[in-house]
Structure 1
Amino acid sequence: MPKPPHVFDRDLEWSELTAFASDEDRGPHLAVVSGRRRQGKSFLLKALTSATNGFYFAAVEATRAESLSLLGREIAHFTDAPVPPIPQDWTEALELLFDLSTQRPVTIVIDEFPYLVRGDASLPSRLQRIIGAGFGDDLRRHPRILLCGSAMSFMGGLLSGTSPLYGRARLNLVVHSLGYRDAAKFWNIDDPRLAVLTHAVVGGTPAYRKELVANDVPEGLDDFDDWVCRTVLNPMRPIHSEAEFLLAAEPDVRDRALYHSVLAAVAAGNHTSGGIASAVGRKATDISQPLTVLKRCGLLTVEADAFRGNRSAYRIAEPLITFHHAVVRRNQSLMIEERDLNSAWSESRDTFLSKVVGPHFEHLCREWVSWHAEPDTFGGLPIEVTSGTVADPAARTSHEVDIVVRGAVGQDHGILLSIGEAKWNKVMDVRHLDRLRHILGLLASRGIDTSHARPACYSGVGFTPALQEAAERGEVVLVDLGRLYGGA
């Protein structure tokens, strides 16, 4: 089943969806499709139902009675029935849906499924019951049910051990943002530096370009500042308030002020639970629940420190949220009341470069190692790519390591393959290599095998001739923007 030409990228997702829809096994099949808002889930599923002559129903926030009535109308439209059926409850509604597949397997998409469950919490149990009955009823109905939703905390629990639907799904597909290379292609940006700057603002969410900025793409580096002012800083553009909407749309978020403060603390550079708690003026125990909910919603990620097992780093998963809390939120009066967007951006640009672009560049470098590094770059297969902190007792300090690569060399796994430093706006020289060598010495003194570890320098502006000569001698791996984006 070929992917429609209007669907950008998403080859893996399309392959999984079409394999599910075309599975010839008899009986009902269930799939769950989730992902944060604006990633193109509905777009994909509409394309799927179009390609398979399937049924698509998009739920809305409504009472149970209205939702059942709306579903009846869609069923009548699909079957060309002169009078829409009016199911009295969800058991009857599900029977009507399953009856659509008596002649052939039919793809049946229920989009925004959490809205329906909010109106009737018994829906998952009723669906479980009718799926189970379908296998004992002479296998006469063959629906391919796809439940879709953007409430990540809800969708994540839909197939958990306590859910009625546990063990029922044949597919659990999460639609993620586009990778940074695909995002650059989607925005038609060829300049790697402009691509990083733009990605640090809008990330890889497809709908931001087409729906929220109306295809307004920065024309070049000289246009980037003006682009920021006329789009994400502009209160009249929907992308201006999108970050707040992403949080408000999550049903598990109660104290929104506290959650915004937690996100603002992370955006300001506080990545440990203690640092976040101090920034928001609360005890660490007071923010454990917001941190858990934000992780479950997919708005925060957490990764263990590569060298300190009792320490973890929290990072914001959506670049637009980082930009909002580092730049937009603190300049609301200039943007909304005084409408002075240029002044707001002028006062925030340095913060943007240090608090947003710098950490984001480090993240892209880790993503490059995970997905795009050439097979022989580190002398082994990268398996885990994180960051870490190395204590230096003699100097009474510690060293932050931006990119830590562990992987497999032959049959050995967990080998330290590389430690690296990333600088967005600084030409890197031999002093950066010396620092990495010093850190490797500290690690070796702790008994860590560093015999396979290759120092790596990642720079947004380049390297000195001396450092390039060291790379030619095989002493260091150098990654510039061209290499990051697949150039020579």
Structure 2
Amino acid sequence: MRRPEDMFDREVEWARLARFCEDDAPGASLGVVSGRRRQGKSFLLEAACEQTGGLYFQAVEATAADSLRMFGTRLAEHLGAPAAFTFHGWDEAVDAILGLGSRKPVPVVLDEFPYLTKVSPELPSVVQAAFGPRRPRRRESRTRLVLCGSALSVMGRLLAGAAPLRGRASLELTVPTLDYRLAREFWGIEDLPLAAQVHTVVGGTPAYHDFLRGDRPASPADFDDWVARAVLDAASPLFREARYLLSEEPSLRDSALYSSVLAAVASGATTRGGIASHVGRSSSDLAHPLTVLADAGFLVRADDLLRDRRPLWRIAEPLVAFYHAMIRPAFAQLDRPGRAVRLWPTLRPTFAAQVLGPHFEGMARTWVADFASPETLGADLLGDVGHGTIHDHAGRAHLELDIVALGPADGTRRRLVALGEAKWGTTLGIDHLDRLDHARTLIGSARGLDITTTRLILVSAAGFTDDLHARAAADPRIVLVDLDRLYHGS
């Protein structure tokens, strides 16, 4: 399988899918492909089927009988049969799927699989039975069946716990969103501050580039106009996209509550207590909604690495965060023609404080986790990377740290690999360094971590003072990360 020339990145995902589809070993095999919506899963799987002569079937919302009828029609088209096949149940359809691989490996993709299980909940058990290790039909087949879906709560349950397909899949492939470096390349933006701001709005979801027909800011001066025309304009497909993402997830039945929870997180209420206060519910009432939103891929639970049982909640998709912080509060006004250009200047301070700042902190943590070299961190292996809080008893204050990187929990005294601060619009200086140094000392005494080689990482889009540059030049444990290093360096 040759990766299509018009496919951006996805080298790793394509290679794993190719190994699965071209595996010539006897016996049918099962794969599961998942990921958030609009990431290019269908494009990836359709390309694989085109190159291998496989069968691609995309389910739609339909009754069980109608879904079987459409699959029978698609199978007939694939085989060149004169009439559609008629199946009375999915057991017959799966049997026909196994028959496709009687002579050679043949991939078969059932895309939007959650639509099928919604009306035919027995389908996973049918697949389990057909793919039993001692079933003769399965042993004689080389069919490579791929189940794909974007409803993460549904796909996550397929292989979990006591689910019927637990232990049956030989491929579990997640198609992730593009990281901020790849997203800049994909959008073709050379100016780094501009690329970071665009990523804050649309993230690394490839489909949004197509939604806008390639419209991107022509220059930094065009960013405000681009936001107004591409996202805040009621005629733009991105204006209501966050609403659609929420409505397309089958596990989110109380859309009003879930939308309010997301709005609370977007406004800065990131603890369970803060979210509860925002939505008018008790903290205990939010345990289930928060879990559901996390399972569906809308929220990410970020544990405080320095304090037990102090998690924060963050929105996983930048456009969802942008919508709930910027569009939702002004939806009625923005829904009127011509209002976006006039309202954006009044919304921009909120964008800087509630959206851009927290997003930039996340980019900094990603740099430490994925791009910083062992030489920079003074460590070959990392354990956890996240945020943390340490109490300063003498100063009667809690020091919040944007970046906390710990070494592996290998039974020895755990290392504090790095502490960091990330600021979008602030020039960082010696006072910021001293704050990190003080926090490092507190952590060493309060948490018992090894701080002898801890790096102090300062990340800023606005730059650093001359005296901080001088200190960093003399001490390799001080790491300064500007936008150029964030995007290109290690």
TM superposition shift of 1:383: 2.7
Q: What are the Cα deviations for residues 91-125 of structure 1, in whole angstroms up to 9, with x where unaligned?
A: 11112222111121110000001111111111111
**Maintained 8 Å contact 1:106/1:144:** yes
Partner residue in 1 for 2:179: 179
Partner residue in 1 for 2:224: 225
Partner residue in 2 for 1:34: 34
Q: Please give the alpha-carbon distance, in whole angstroms, between the structure 2 residues aligned to 1:28 and 1:487.
A: 44
Q: Please give the alpha-carbon distance, in whole angstroms, between the structure 2 residues aligned to 1:254 and 1:207.
A: 26
TM superposition shift of 1:384: 1.6
Asked if residue 340 in structure 1 is aligned to residue 339 in structure 2, the reply is yes
Partner residue in 2 for 1:5: 5
Q: What are the Cα deviations for residues 215-253 of structure 1, in whole angstroms up to 9, with x where unaligned?
A: 101111111001001111011111111111111111111
Q: Please give the alpha-carbon distance, in whole angstroms, between the structure 1 residues aligned to 2:427 and 2:305.
A: 26
Partner residue in 1 for 2:487: 485
**Where in structure 2 are the equivalents of 1:56-455 lying within 5 Å?**
56-132=56-132, 135-137=135-137, 139-210=139-210, 212-337=211-336, 339-381=338-380, 382-407=382-407, 414-446=414-446, 447-455=448-456
**Maintained 8 Å contact 2:98/2:137:** no
**Residues 54 and 434 of structure 1: CA distance in aligned 2, closer, same or farther (over 3 Å):** same
Q: What are the Cα deviations for residues 279-300 of structure 1, in whole angstroms up to 9, with x where unaligned?
A: 1111011111110000100111
Q: Please give the alpha-carbon distance, in whole angstroms, between the structure 1 residues aligned to 2:395 and 2:63.
A: 65
Q: Could you say what secondary structure the match of 2:406 adopts?
A: strand
Q: Could you say what secondary structure the match of 1:184 adopts?
A: helix
User: TM-score, normalised to structure 1's length?
Assistant: 0.97
TM superposition shift of 1:89: 1.1
**Maintained 8 Å contact 1:27/1:134:** no
Q: Please give the alpha-carbon distance, in whole angstroms, between the structure 2 residues aligned to 1:64 and 1:87.
A: 11
TM superposition shift of 1:155: 0.2
Partner residue in 2 for 1:49: 49
**Residues 444 and 126 of structure 1: CA distance in aligned 2, closer, same or farther (over 3 Å):** closer
Q: Please give the alpha-carbon distance, in whole angstroms, between the structure 1 residues aligned to 2:329 and 2:99.
A: 55
**Maintained 8 Å contact 1:108/1:143:** yes
- Matched to 2:459, the amino acid is Y
**Maintained 8 Å contact 1:54/1:106:** yes
**Maintained 8 Å contact 1:27/1:135:** no
**Maintained 8 Å contact 1:380/1:408:** no
| Structure 2 gaps, min length 5 | none
TM superposition shift of 1:30: 0.2
Q: Please give the alpha-carbon distance, in whole angstroms, between the structure 1 residues aligned to 2:6 and 2:172.
A: 24
Structure 1 range deviating more: 128-137 or 154-163? 128-137
**Maintained 8 Å contact 2:304/2:388:** yes
Q: Please give the alpha-carbon distance, in whole angstroms, between the structure 2 residues aligned to 1:137 and 1:361.
A: 53
Q: Could you say what secondary structure the match of 2:273 adopts?
A: helix
**Maintained 8 Å contact 2:419/2:455:** yes
**Residues 89 and 342 of structure 1: CA distance in aligned 2, closer, same or farther (over 3 Å):** same
Cα RMSD (Å) of the superposition? 1.6
Partner residue in 2 for 1:463: 464
**Residues 137 and 74 of structure 1: CA distance in aligned 2, closer, same or farther (over 3 Å):** closer
TM superposition shift of 1:376: 0.5
User: TM-score, normalised to structure 2's length?
Assistant: 0.97
Q: Could you say what secondary structure the match of 1:377 adopts?
A: helix
Structure 1 range deviating more: 146-155 or 403-412? 403-412
Q: Please give the alpha-carbon distance, in whole angstroms, between the structure 1 residues aligned to 2:409 and 2:247.
A: 46
Q: Could you say what secondary structure the match of 2:136 adopts?
A: coil
Q: Could you say what secondary structure the match of 1:394 adopts?
A: coil
- Matched to 1:460, the amino acid is A
TM superposition shift of 1:411: 9.8
Tell me how many residue pairs correspond in the alignment: 487
Q: What are the Cα deviations for residues 323-345 of structure 1, in whole angstroms up to 9, with x where unaligned?
A: 00110111112211353111221
Q: What are the Cα deviations for residues 126-158 of structure 1, in whole angstroms up to 9, with x where unaligned?
A: 111111277434832221000000110000000
Structure 1 range deviating more: 1-10 or 438-447? 438-447
**Maintained 8 Å contact 1:427/1:462:** yes
**Residues 487 and 159 of structure 1: CA distance in aligned 2, closer, same or farther (over 3 Å):** closer
Q: Please give the alpha-carbon distance, in whole angstroms, between the structure 2 residues aligned to 1:194 and 1:127.
A: 48
Where has structure 1 moved over 6 Å in runs of 4 or more?
Answer: none
**Maintained 8 Å contact 2:414/2:449:** no
- Matched to 1:122, the amino acid is E
**Maintained 8 Å contact 2:371/2:489:** no
| Structure 1 gaps, min length 5 | none
Between the aligned residues of both structures, percent identity stands at: 45
**Residues 409 and 270 of structure 1: CA distance in aligned 2, closer, same or farther (over 3 Å):** closer
